[in-house]
Amino acid sequence: MKTLTQLAAGLAAGAITARALIEDSLARIADPNGEGARAFTKVHADSARACADAMDALRKAGRALGPYAGIPVAFKDLTDIAGEATPAGSRVLADASPAQVHAPVAARMFAHGFVSIGRTNMTEFAYSGLGLNPHYGTPAAAWERDVAPRVPGGSSSGTGVAVGDGIVPVGLGTDTGGSCRIPAACNNIVGFKPTARRVPLTGILPLAPSLDSVGPLARCVADCAVVDAVFAGEDPGVPQAAPLAGLRVGVPKNYVRDDIDQTVARGFDRALTALSLAGARVVEFGFDELSEIPALGAGGGLVAAESYHWHRALLAAKRDGYDPRVSSRILAGEKIGAADYLETVARRAALIARSDERTDAFDVIALPTIPVVPPRIADLLADDEAYRMANLLLLRNPTIANLLDRCALALPCGEAGGAPVSLMLMGKRMEDRRLLAIGLSVEEMLGAR
């Protein structure tokens, strides 16, 4: 799959058409040897063809909506698209009233001429980092797919697989505790979590509004930068790559390497060495505040409390239709009282303030996105304890950025042809474009694309 820049150039030169791009995506979805049938919960075949033809006609008339008009995009199944229900990977909302208007992030993509190819699969109601879905099936990550299918990462599982398999160049994900970055790590692609306040959450079915954010998944940092700008209502473009010489990179000594496997450890250490050789100042430091994070999530924390608030009436009416592994986590919020919730909010605010002070000397914080290679799906299907432990492990590092209200970027750093390994760079609050500029240089240095 070509990058957005390459596709835009081809469209502008007449070397390719929007209709051809759409037909290619639809063929990949329908391929019985691929994961398209599980990566998508709904395919917009007819409307995508009609939109593509319209974009081709507008471009021919010199009235194209923009350079990216006609390029296919995938939307996670919790995104409001006018005229459709928003099931969020569940069966209990399959008959819900259709959305009346597009979510702002979708409307902004359409305004630039991007064409929706369909809605992507996800963990039901976005409540897991693994990506398993008993209702629509679980799409497998590309690595060892024919040997022992691996989890796609959640909750934006379908978007991760659709981008990783080249069905679409870019897609929408959401990120409450890593749900853009974990699928990126599992599928060897790039995922970006913006500072939450930059991108509107209106029209996105919530998990935990205090932590939710909307971000892109793509095959390169530049494409993430374009889509992030569109989501944020900014002019789409790619920032100038930031020099690595003199870049201040902090690496936590504690917490983020716990239970790391050898494959990830080697990839992460290689990335740090490469940063040093490129002139970055890589410094290990004690990030003691991270040890407070597990206590913030005890009993389900903010996510359980806020998700229960949204789901309580629906659970009362349709609990039997939920994935039990999801409903049990939401129901933990029933036990969280107002005083406990407010105490957690206050403790998070204090943690953010102290963490900001602790990390102020660094431009970015580097850590493994996930500390292990993607687990095998078969190992988790019937073993609830294995599922619970794997979910906690994959969420642990990405959740740091959500709790600290930061932006974060995940990009591949493994060996070519080997297991997927991902480097996470965490930037400062509202310095999203600076982080993407750094990511461009790190990506080029690693040869990640």
Residue from 116, 155, 210, 355 carrying the catalytic annotation: 155
Q: Would you state the structure tokens that stand for residue 102, as one six-digit string?
A: 């597009």
Among this protein's residues, is 25 annotated catalytic? Answer: no
| Residue 192 β-bridge partners | 409
Task: Based on the residue annotation, tell me whether 210 is a catalytic residue of this protein.
Answer: no
Catalytic residue among 90, 116, 157, 179: 179
Q: What does the alpha-carbon distance between residue 387 and residue 383 come to, in Å, rounded to a whole number? A: 6
8 A C-beta contact, residue 106 and residue 80? yes
Q: Between helices 221-231 and 4-13, what is the axis angle to 10°?
A: 80
User: DSSP letters along 276-299, please?
Assistant: HHTT-EEEEE--GGGGGHHHHTGG
Q: Six-digit token pair at 248? A: 């201040």
Measured CA to CA, the distance from residue 360 to residue 308 in angstroms comes to: 35
Q: Is 97 a catalytic residue?
A: no
User: Cβ(169)–Cβ(220) under 8 Å?
Assistant: no
Query: Is 403 within 8 Å of 351 (Cβ atoms)?
Result: yes
Coil, strand, or helix at residue 190?
Answer: strand
SS3 state at 42:
strand
Q: Specify the amino acid at residue 28.
A: R
Of 76, 90, 157, 428, which residue is the catalytic one? 76
CA distance 180 to 416: 22
- Which pair of structure tokens corresponds to residue 281? 């100042």
From CA 378, how far away is CA 382, in angstroms rounded? 8
Sheet architecture: strand order including 40-43:
40-43, 115-120, 72-76, 170-174, 214-218, 190-193, 408-412, 422-426, 364-368, 248-252, 281-285
For residue 283 the two structure tokens come to: 């410094």
Residue of 443, 395, 415, 330 lying closest to 175 (CA atoms) = 395
How many CB atoms lie under 10 A from the CB of residue 238? 19
Angle at CA of residue 385, ends 309 and 414, nearest 5°: 95
Cite the active site residues: 76, 155, 179
